[in-house]
Structure 1
Amino acid sequence: MNDLSDVAVLMPAFNGQADVERTLASLRETSMVHVLIVDDGSAPPIVAPAIGGMNIDILRMPKNGGIERALEAGMTALAARGIRYAARIDAGDLATPGRFAKQRAYMEAHPRVAALGMWTHVVSTEGAPLFDLTPPTEPAAIRRTMLARTCFTHPSLMLRVDAVIEAGNYRAQYRAAEDLDLLLRLMQRHDGANLPEFGLFYELNESGISATKRRAQVMSTLRLQLRYLRVTNPLDWAGVVKSVAHLLLPYRALRGLKARLLKPASSA
């Protein structure tokens, strides 16, 4: 039941050895965990730590090309190895125990689901709780609100590898929004869902993509919203307005507002 032989963790990494080791140490499953680290041109190169119950491979990119190309290369490599499910996580984030087994079991029971996320605790780089992300869980609700709000935490996803390849894989066409681009294409033919329980501690880092590439990310999101806009769905229009507001308002102000609105009940 907990066999993970057809699952591989897909983790891109760039110059973050300590973060890689901390994340891998958090992966607690009852079966062997297979990991593919895509080293995106790190200097010095990422080294695979020795961790019991874990088989770790490293795919080295010839130079730093960005997370989009690293994920594309990683997914292509997993497909070539016959891996069925890719479990995403980023260096610095932590998984809850048994996350991958729970996701695999759900996807085995729901063959129409090609992308399965989990609820997420957002924490500071020191581990302090900031807020929680509890997006919709059912495919119909996700499809309805997909362009209005973030319905998936990218590092919490488990993806069907064959469906990702069929949809065109990750790509660099929408910089810093490669996850939304992929998910929108996947959901043309498949479903997306979230397990209604917490599976990830997501580290909100001021040097992360959401902060350092914020304008590119918002512009890419806006382009995707306009491309997939359903003119009769008010929520799609609300998403466009939200993206325009994100272009106009400072990042720290938006982060502070989100933290106040989504603060966990335990810290209220």
Structure 2
Amino acid sequence: MKFSVLIAVYAKELPSNLRQSLDSIFNQEMPPNEVVLVEDGPITQALEQVVMDYTIMYPELKVVKLEHNVGLGLALSEGLKHCSYDIVARMDSDDLSRPERFSKQAAWMELHPETDVIGSWVDEFSDDSSKIISTRRLPETHSELLRFSRYRNPMNHPTVMFRKKAVLEAGSYRHCPLFEDYDLWVRMMQHGAKFHNLQESLLLFRLTTQLFDRRGGRLYIRQELNFQRKMYHMGHITLSRLIVNCIVRTLLRLIPNGWRKFGYLFFLRR
């Protein structure tokens, strides 16, 4: 099965993180036929050097340069247009895919043509990828994920492999700050796409203090409440679920960062 990998990078990424991420992609048991790397606006000279090094080593690396920073959703939408194959695996520029990830997901997609999106759990780490802090486990079957999606994101975005055709039929990625993937999954479910999660961790996800900072504050609350209203207007959630979601999520975003981190690691990850 031939497939592409879609990854985006922007100026604030650390060059060392990008190197590790690309190494985890190219050192797979089942390497991709193509890697589409989107530069979301101008990047640093150090990042450009990393990209140049890997384009020399791996001719299957295709670079798409965007003149301005447009945000993750629109960057991925543009990158998807450059993916040559219908099967596309997502990856983030600071995470690490386990060596068996692509082979296991591709095998599932080949045996289950009804599946449009497949993901997995993730193991989360801080500085040392050998020291796992927590694991984000998600339901397995489509019916479970459909129910789960009414109050939480049903997929770990950097773990997914999907059918490009199904993504495009739902409208592809769009500008939905902080919720680009969740927004796409809901629209795909509305269009009848089928989801599945392998019940094992196939990716190492980098947790940073900045991540928890970004998930708090009034700006995040506004973005989140806007997205909850979108789900309601799409008919994905009921009015009562909208109200409950908005109350719970607003409280979570207003508590101190340390408490929010504790809640994520010791309640939402269990």
* Offset from partner CA, 1:39-79 (integer Å, 9 cap, x none): 1121336324348677211111111111111111011221x
- Once residues 62 and 198 of structure 2 are traced to their aligned partners in structure 1, the CA distance between those partners, rounded to angstroms, is 28
The answer to whether 1:194 aligns with 2:197 is: yes
* Offset from partner CA, 1:194-222 (integer Å, 9 cap, x none): 011111111112334x6336515523442
Superposition TM-score, scaled by structure 1 size: 0.84
Q: Which amino acid aligns with 2:44?
A: A
What residue in structure 2 maps to residue 10 of structure 1?
Answer: 6
The equivalences for 1:104-183 within 5 A come to: 104-127=106-129, 128-172=131-175, 174-183=176-185
Assess, with a 3 A threshold, how the Cα gap between structure 1 residues 184 and 39 changes in structure 2: closer, same or farther.
Answer: same
- Once residues 124 and 161 of structure 2 are traced to their aligned partners in structure 1, the CA distance between those partners, rounded to angstroms, is 19
The answer to whether 1:19 aligns with 2:17 is: yes
The equivalences for 1:1-268 within 5 A come to: 3=1, 5=2, 7-15=3-11, 16=13, 17-27=15-25, 28-33=27-32, 34-41=34-41, 42-44=43-45, 46=48, 47-50=51-54, 55-78=60-83, 81=84, 83-127=85-129, 128-172=131-175, 174-188=176-190, 189-208=192-211, 211-212=213-214, 214=216, 215=220, 217-227=223-233, 228-231=235-238, 238-261=244-267
* Offset from partner CA, 1:227-259 (integer Å, 9 cap, x none): 344339x76665344323234323432121221
The answer as to whether partners of 1:138 and 1:193 remain within 8 angstroms in 2 is yes
SS in 1 for 2:133: strand
Unaligned runs of 5+ in 2: none
The answer as to whether partners of 1:180 and 1:221 remain within 8 angstroms in 2 is no
- Once residues 88 and 54 of structure 1 are traced to their aligned partners in structure 2, the CA distance between those partners, rounded to angstroms, is 19
- Once residues 168 and 10 of structure 2 are traced to their aligned partners in structure 1, the CA distance between those partners, rounded to angstroms, is 24
CA shift, 1:223, in A, is 2.8
Q: Percent identity?
A: 25
SS in 2 for 1:242: helix
The answer as to whether partners of 2:30 and 2:100 remain within 8 angstroms in 1 is no
SS in 1 for 2:94: coil
SS in 2 for 1:92: coil
SS in 2 for 1:58: strand
SS in 1 for 2:88: strand
* Offset from partner CA, 1:138-158 (integer Å, 9 cap, x none): 000011121212321111111
CA shift, 1:105, in A, is 1.5
Pairwise CA RMSD of aligned residues? Answer: 2.5
Assess, with a 3 A threshold, how the Cα gap between structure 1 residues 147 and 237 changes in structure 2: closer, same or farther.
Answer: farther
- Once residues 25 and 159 of structure 1 are traced to their aligned partners in structure 2, the CA distance between those partners, rounded to angstroms, is 21
Superposition TM-score, scaled by structure 2 size: 0.84
Unaligned runs of 5+ in 1: none
Higher helix share: 2
Q: Which amino acid aligns with 2:67?
A: P
Assess, with a 3 A threshold, how the Cα gap between structure 1 residues 238 and 111 changes in structure 2: closer, same or farther.
Answer: farther
Assess, with a 3 A threshold, how the Cα gap between structure 1 residues 54 and 130 changes in structure 2: closer, same or farther.
Answer: farther
- Once residues 71 and 173 of structure 2 are traced to their aligned partners in structure 1, the CA distance between those partners, rounded to angstroms, is 12
The answer as to whether partners of 1:10 and 1:87 remain within 8 angstroms in 2 is yes
